[in-house]
């Protein structure tokens, strides 16, 4: 990575304005998954050990520029304090004279967390004045929020124009390292597994990976758009009619490259997405009109498993089925288990963010992977080959 990281800077006696992604799932004011908080601990501990004071900023949810009590970061500050076993002072705004007065008085080792950035419209609008107010809180800017690096928001691209140096934390450095390997120099054979509901959200990834991979395995709801584009009956399965032409073009490109793309050979079908809905497995071209595909079938699982276990590098983005329902989760779970086996043997297994990350945590396999990305949209755009604004904004090494 040709950007400055926290290993390139002397933080002793400095106030660090640290952008993190603490957009954690909450239910009735309680955090249900603190993975994103834990992911930033190595960076936080490094900065504290180097003698810095910390002003932590983040967003939570989509309050659309309005104060919403249920989206306050107060519970997040409490959880961070528990994980660090250290006081984290919570301030009830992220800008204002009183807030700036407190952040300017910080002593080395002290930590404050500011209130939700998105309570202010200036955050998403990348307002220069809002960026300038935020920049007053620190001497040095550190971004460790990979999941928002594809957003040109004030806290992501506005602050680095004012504060210098602007450097990457360990989480961003790790993301770029492992996602970068996939695009630049993956050990061969390189297998990509792309699932999820829609082809339309993965077009860029599919097109960018097709020339790079040895095999491209397709699963999830998007497989039915590919089947439909080939003229097959898909019953009540999910289909993106507006993406049929694109799906056909990608399939033709795959055939021109020697048939790299693999579609399911059989499908688990059900009447509905209910847990008690009866299921059966049918061949890919025998889907009944009154049923819908909910997972890849046993033959596909075995076929995909064999392909994965022969690989040296595997990247997965998107589940193989409706993994949230136990009955429809076997395909996703088994594929992830195969990737974990690969990683434990010393090869590379990387899981993309979003639903993929949710699945790998659901099945308690995250710690067995080489890397699980914390970015949904950010990891997708990175894998499309796009430059992320939040990375571009950091100081060059």
Active site residues: 36, 198, 354, 377
At 151 the three-state DSSP class reads coil
At 81 the three-state DSSP class reads helix
Name which of 112, 120, 117 is nearest 155 in CA terms. Answer: 117
By the 8 A CB rule, do 263 and 285 touch? no
Side-chain-facing half-sphere of 170: CA atoms under 13 Å: 11
By the 8 A CB rule, do 268 and 223 touch? no
Name which of 246, 202, 197 is nearest 222 in CA terms. Answer: 197
Beta strands 348-351 and 292-296, pairing class: unpaired
Counting beta carbons within 10 angstroms of the beta carbon of residue 276, is it exposed (0 to 12), middle (13 to 18) or buried (19 or more)? exposed
Cα dihedral across residues 231, 232, 233, 239: positive or negative: negative
Tokens of 278: 């009866």
Residues in the chain: 397
Residue 147 CA to residue 245 CA, distance in Å, equals: 31
Residue 15 CA to residue 104 CA, distance in Å, equals: 8
Residue 199 CA to residue 201 CA, distance in Å, equals: 6
φ, ψ of residue 360 to 5 degrees: the values are: -65, -30
Cα dihedral across residues 58, 62, 67, 69: positive or negative: negative
Residue 238 CA to residue 225 CA, distance in Å, equals: 7
Residue 397 CA to residue 126 CA, distance in Å, equals: 25
């Amino acid at each position: 990575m040709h950007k400055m990281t926290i290993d390139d800077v002397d933080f002793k006696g400095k106030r660090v304005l640290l952008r993190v992604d603490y957009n954690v799932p909450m239910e009735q004011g309680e955090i249900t998954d603190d993975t994103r908080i834990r992911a930033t601990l190595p960076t936080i501990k490094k900065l504290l050990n180097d003698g810095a004071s910390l002003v932590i900023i983040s967003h939570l949810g989509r309050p659309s520029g309005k104060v919403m009590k249920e989206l306050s970061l107060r519970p997040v500050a409490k959880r961070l304090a528990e994980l660090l076993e250290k006081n984290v002072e919570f301030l009830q705004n992220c800008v204002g004279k009183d807030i700036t007065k407190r952040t300017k008085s910080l002593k080395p080792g002290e930590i404050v967390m500011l209130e939700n950035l998105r309570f202010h419209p200036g955050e998403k609008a990348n307002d220069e004045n809002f960026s300038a107010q935020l920049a007053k809180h620190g001497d040095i800017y550190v971004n460790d929020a990979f999941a928002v690096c594809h957003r040109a928001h004030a806290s992501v691209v506005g602050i680095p124009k004012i504060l210098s140096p602007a450097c990457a934390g360990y989480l961003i450095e790790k993301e770029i390292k492992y996602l970068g390997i996939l695009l630049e120099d993956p050990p061969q054979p390189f297998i990509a597994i792309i699932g999820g509901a829609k082809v339309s959200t993965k077009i860029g990834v599919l097109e960018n990976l097709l020339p790079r991979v040895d095999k491209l395995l397709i699963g999830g709801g998007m497989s039915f758009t590919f089947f439909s584009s080939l003229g097959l009956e898909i019953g009540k399965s999910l289909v993106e009619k507006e993406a049929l032409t694109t799906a056909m073009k990608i399939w033709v490109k795959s055939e021109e490259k020697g048939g790299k793309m693999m579609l399911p050979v059989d499908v688990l079908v059900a009447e509905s997405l209910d847990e008690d809905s009866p299921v059966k497995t049918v061949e890919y071209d025998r889907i009944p009109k009154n049923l819908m595909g909910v997972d890849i079938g046993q033959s596909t699982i075995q076929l995909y498993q064999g392909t994965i276990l022969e690989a040296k590098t595997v990247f997965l983005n998107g589940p193989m089925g409706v993994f949230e329902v136990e009955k429809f989760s076997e395909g996703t779970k088994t594929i992830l288990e195969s990737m974990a086996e690969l990683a434990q043997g010393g090869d590379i297994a990387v899981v993309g963010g979003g639903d993929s990350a949710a699945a790998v945590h659901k099945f308690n396999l995250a710690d067995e992977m080489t890397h699980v990305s914390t970015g949904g949209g950010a990891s997708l755009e990175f894998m499309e080959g796009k430059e992320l604004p939040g990375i571009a904004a950091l100081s060059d090494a």
